[in-house]
Amino acid sequence: MAKTQIESILNSVKKALGIEADYDHFDPELIMFINTALGVCYQLGVGPTDKPFAIEDDSTTWDEFMQGDQIETVKTYIFAKVKLIFDPPTSSSVLQAYQELIKEFEWRSNVDAETP
């Protein structure tokens, strides 16, 4: 079973982007981009199914979004989506790698959602 994740969604994405948790200048944009990625997760059937999940600040944790073995994949997916919007790589090969990672996650999520 996966270890429980109690970390902030916003702060973990900021950390992955190389931004200190206490530096909040980009928070409104990052929250918007994170919520966009969480909305895609909802459409893919990942996370809460009753309504789209969204964050408002750094108090929302990964445990509130979902728990289980897929959480690390979801965290990587959210980071990759935000990275491509917020700070896209300048190298075309790195950009392509991010795009392929995102497509693979979306495909796997569709398969999981359609498999009983």
Enumerate the domain spans of the chain: 9-114
> Helix and strand tally (H, E) in the chain?
5, 0
Q: How far apart are CA 15 and CA 21, in angstroms?
A: 7
CA-wise closest residue to 79 among 26, 27, 38: 38
pLDDT tens, position by position, 1-23: 444 447 999 999 999 999 999 99
Q: How far apart are CA 61 and CA 79, in angstroms?
A: 14
pTM of the shown model? 0.90
Q: 114: pLDDT confidence band, cut at 50, 70 and 90?
A: confident
Residue-level pLDDT at 5 = 45
**Above 80 in pLDDT, residue 113?**
no
